[in-house]
């Protein structure tokens, strides 16, 4: 293994993502080992100044990617702020991870049950932002094969 991408679970429970991303970057840096751990910062477009969090991830922490957690943070993929985010991410030449789910619904505690993210609005977003690499995390068992095919057609950087 030459590299592992690391994110923070703090993002699902905290509103201060700047400090969560700082801790993540510090931990990855302290792990050393020739940059084995690459931090992937979390961005919450529902918080004020999310643009500053994104800029900090890119410019200060040198992160090459960000992670979105729409199911946990309460927004859908048709949120207008995602268009703005993808424009900035494209300018920064970063990749985007979208966590469709973090845990199998069968093992989620009933008080912390989170529905899978609806991927249909992503069809429009990826058409508008075709240069942004997008990785769907834990998506295969949460949506149908036809939608996966539609998302992948003509989109070699959708992983």
In a domain, residue 40? The reply is yes
In a domain, residue 39? The reply is yes
In a domain, residue 116? The reply is yes
In a domain, residue 34? The reply is yes
Question: What average pLDDT score do residues 18-46 get?
Answer: 90
pLDDT of 159 > 60? The answer is: no
CATH number at residue 148: 3.20.20.140
In a domain, residue 13? The reply is yes
In a domain, residue 158? The reply is no
Question: What average pLDDT score do residues 6-18 get?
Answer: 90
Where is pLDDT greater, at 153 or 15? 15
Q: How many domains does the chain have?
A: 1
In a domain, residue 111? The reply is yes
Q: What share of the chain in percent tops pLDDT 70?
A: 89
Tell me which long-range contacts 112-117 makes (C-beta under 8 A, separation of at least 24).
Answer: 114/71, 114/72, 115/71, 116/71, 116/142, 116/143, 117/70, 117/71, 117/76, 117/77, 117/142
């Amino acid at each position: 293994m030459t590299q592992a991408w690391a994110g923070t679970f703090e993002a699902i429970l905290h509103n201060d993502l700047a400090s969560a991303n700082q801790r993540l970057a510090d931990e990855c840096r302290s792990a050393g080992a020739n940059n084995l751990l690459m931090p992937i910062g979390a961005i919450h477009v529902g918080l004020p100044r999310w643009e500053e969090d994104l800029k900090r991830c890119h410019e200060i922490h040198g992160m090459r990617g960000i992670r979105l957690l729409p199911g946990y943070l309460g927004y859908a993929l048709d949120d207008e702020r995602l268009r703005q985010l993808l424009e900035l991410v494209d300018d920064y030449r970063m990749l985007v991870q979208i966590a469709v789910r973090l845990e199998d619904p069968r093992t989620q505690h009933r008080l912390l049950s989170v529905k899978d993210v609806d991927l249909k609005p992503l069809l429009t977003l990826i058409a508008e932002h075709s240069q942004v690499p997008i990785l769907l995390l834990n998506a295969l068992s949460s949506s149908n094969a036809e939608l996966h095919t539609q998302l992948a057609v003509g989109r070699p950087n959708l992983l």
